């Protein structure tokens, strides 16, 4: 959280000087847990990520039919469970009947889809959480529920929240201005970024590492925005060394042990 708190201070003081970054400061964010070693978003994936020293565990949120927040990247359960259909068409209880591990290997047969509460209750304040929100039914809908869960457990200082939705992040910023926010960017939108608008509500941007170079990182730092990168799983190992050398502030990695070599 150190660097993100520095950004908050900069925004409050109005300083516009470039923000320095060293590789020692690089945040290592376990993408969907340690997803190369265990099925994504399951308890073993998160446990392995924490054991391996990730700075944050990343949690993609989806909302169930009965309004519960669960750890799931895709809109449907098809890819990562033995079920079919949209997450939003299932209640939490119905999702619990699905197998979230067998697709990965027989070793993880029987793993369950996790609610957000289960994850934060398991790891508590000893872990940092990097949480992605989404629009629900074409409107904001997760933000109050998420803040309620975190607030009740005194975890508001343990989170970074990211989203591709400016509306979701602006809603979160309105509800709580102290939580660091990362505006995710679709590849096609990166050339048209309006960094001086984004920094009015967010502390940084997240984008595909293949689109980053040193000049881009410097430009974002001048605008008081951190740069966090994600990768295509097939190209991460090829480009992460260069991406880190450009001075990015964080990497969302599918290969945790490999990524730590570059810090």
The answer to pTM > 0.75 is yes
Q: What pLDDT band is residue 139 in, cutting at 50, 70 and 90?
A: confident
137 band by pLDDT with thresholds 50, 70 and 90? confident
Nearest to 205 by CA among 145, 163, 247: 163
Is 8's pLDDT higher than 60? no
Check if 228 is active-site.
Answer: no
CATH of the domain at 256: 3.20.20.190
Number of independent structural domains in the chain: 1
205 pairs with which residues across the strands?
Answer: 183, 227
Annotated catalytic residue within 41, 73, 173, 221: 73
Is 221 part of the annotated catalytic residue set?
A: no
Which among 109, 81, 108 has a CA at the least distance from the CA of 95?
81
Write the secondary structure of 11-63 as one string of H (helix), E (strand) and C (coil): HHHCCCCCCCCCHHHCEEEECCCCCCCCCCCCHHHHHHHHHCCCCEEEEEEEE
- Domain range enclosing 123: 2-260
Better-scored residue on pLDDT, 61 or 135: 61
Q: What is the mean pLDDT of residues 148-171?
A: 98
Q: What is the pLDDT of residue 138?
A: 86
Residue with the bigger pLDDT between 4 and 234: it is 234
Task: Select which of 31, 41, 173, 228 is catalytic.
Answer: 31
């Amino acid at each position: 959280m150190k660097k993100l708190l520095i950004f908050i201070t900069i925004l409050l003081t109005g300083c516009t000087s470039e923000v320095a970054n060293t590789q020692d400061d690089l945040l290592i964010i376990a993408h969907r847990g340690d997803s190369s070693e265990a099925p994504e978003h399951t308890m073993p994936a998160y446990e392995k990520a924490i054991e391996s020293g990730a700075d944050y565990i990343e949690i993609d949120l989806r909302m169930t039919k009965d309004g519960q927040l669960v750890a799931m990247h895709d809109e449907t359960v098809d890819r990562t469970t033995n079920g079919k259909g949209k997450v939003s068409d299932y209640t939490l209880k119905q999702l619990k009947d699905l197998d979230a591990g067998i697709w990965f290997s027989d070793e993880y047969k029987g793993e369950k889809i996790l609610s957000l509460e289960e994850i934060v209750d398991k790891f508590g304040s000893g872990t940092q959480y990097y949480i992605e929100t989404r629009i629900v039914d074409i409107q904001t809908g997760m933000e109050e529920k998420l803040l309620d869960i975190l607030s009740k457990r005194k975890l508001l200082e343990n989170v970074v929240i990211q989203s591709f939705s400016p509306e979701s992040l602006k809603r979160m910023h309105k509800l709580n201005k102290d939580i660091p926010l990362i505006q995710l960017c679709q590849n096609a939108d990166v050339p048209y970024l309006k960094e001086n608008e984004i920094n009015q509500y967010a502390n940084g941007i997240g984008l595909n590492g293949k689109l980053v170079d040193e000049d881009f990182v410097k430009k974002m730092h001048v605008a008081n925005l951190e740069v966090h990168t994600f990768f295509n799983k097939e190209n991460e190992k090829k480009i992460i060394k260069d991406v880190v050398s450009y001075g990015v502030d964080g990497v969302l990695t599918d290969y945790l042990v490999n990524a730590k070599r570059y810090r």
